[in-house]
Structure 1
Amino acid sequence: MEVIDNALSTIKDDDIITGKQLKQIITPISIVLSTLSIRVSVIDHLPVFAGSGINTKKRNEMKSPLLSALHTLSELEDDKVLLKLKGWVHGNKAMVIYDSEYDEWNSNIFNKRIISKGNVSLLVFTEDKDIFGIHYKIPKVNVESSLVDQSHFIFSIERHGKPTNKMWKSTQEISCLTLFESGSFLFKTPAFSIQAVRGRKGSYVQTQLSQFYSMLKESKLTYIPYPSFFEVTRIVGIEWV
């Protein structure tokens, strides 16, 4: 930049710029732009490091959940969202494998993050300040396979902003998680179905939940009963190790 300033200082307002002077100005500018381009290219192709605080993936891609894991978990712990979950799942360490705040809200990305992972908690946050979800231990092999895990349970952390901190174990051997490649839903459990598109009121709580979970009523998760739909504003997937 000093070279450019020196070249400009020799030119007066009424001077005609010669080819030599123009070259003295353009050449260092080209060098600076070239250097910046190389630096951006290097950053874009660096590997992703968990907790680095740097988005090293290409700028047209969403942030990796690993990069946001520390911030996200701290945020959830501050709200005491994970306090009960830790006791229920007997987990010591949690890793965010999907977070719609950082990852694209679509079946392709969601399925890739969830499939083959075990001991997973899926939390959903609604527009009405409900926080509930499902926890299962057995990994789901692929989209088409049926996931039967009798140890899975449904939980509620908050309902309309008020703490609930309750969980309900399954009373039957049923498929506890259904994934989709397309359609109206991102995923479905025996207790609730979650919309496939961000910003749409397309989620709902199933009816007659007590036949699958002892003492569980629709109103325990949200005050909006089926056939009314509500909007889920955030989805977080956590793997416990």
Structure 2
Amino acid sequence: MQPELYLSYSSAFLIGLLGSTHCLGMCGGISASLSMALPVGKGFRVRQTILLLAFNLGRIGSYALIATLVALISTSAARQSQTVGLLLMTLAGLLLIFMGLSMGQWWQGIRFVEKVGTPVWRRISPLTKRLLPVNHLGQALGLGALWGWLPCGLVYSTLGWAALQPTVPSAALTMVFFGLGTLPSMLATGYAAGWIRGLKSNQGFRKLSGILLILFGLWTLPLQAFLTH
């Protein structure tokens, strides 16, 4: 594994981890509803864990699929033109900065970016209702796969970074690591953990996460390349 790719994978995981509060707002409710639909009794915790893992596996799988589709275009375009590569880096950096500003509650411009995926979500969202309430593994997996297409600024921000990867598999793997970073908060929400829900309203955590995401964005911007042109 190349060092620069390892850094991207670990950074993608960290972005998912830092974006926990955003994940709670976007996907936390549906994750918690999986548990509420189950009858309490013997084996409840085992069934709950299986459904939560299946839901998140489907969700992360969709992130990887979306990254694959985007990378099929971006990697080819970047190879043909250095300018395209610089533009992609700029876009990825700006998206991370916008997401950081949103996390810190300084500016919510990322919501305009999220509208890009609204037409697709309008077609997919009716399908989610057919899988509710979730009673078995297949439903949870399918619901997660559909929910992964929900318009989300955090996903789009990391997707812009995944598009910078040199190969399609590395782009998909970047989103897998991002999804794994979101997993702790999503599982904790499913288990109705109060402390993780408290992060959503913790201003200090939100602002720290926002600052770190902004720094990631600034690090991604190809400022030196533009200055030398």
**How would you bin the TM-score normalised by the shorter chain?**
under 0.3
Greater radius of gyration (CA): 1
Q: Which has the higher strand share?
A: 1
What is the TM-score with the length of structure 2 in the denominator? 0.22
Task: Considering Cα pairs closer than 8 Å and 6+ residues apart, tell me whether 1 or 2 has the greater RCO.
Answer: 2
What is the TM-score with the length of structure 1 in the denominator? 0.21
Q: Which has the higher helix share?
A: 2
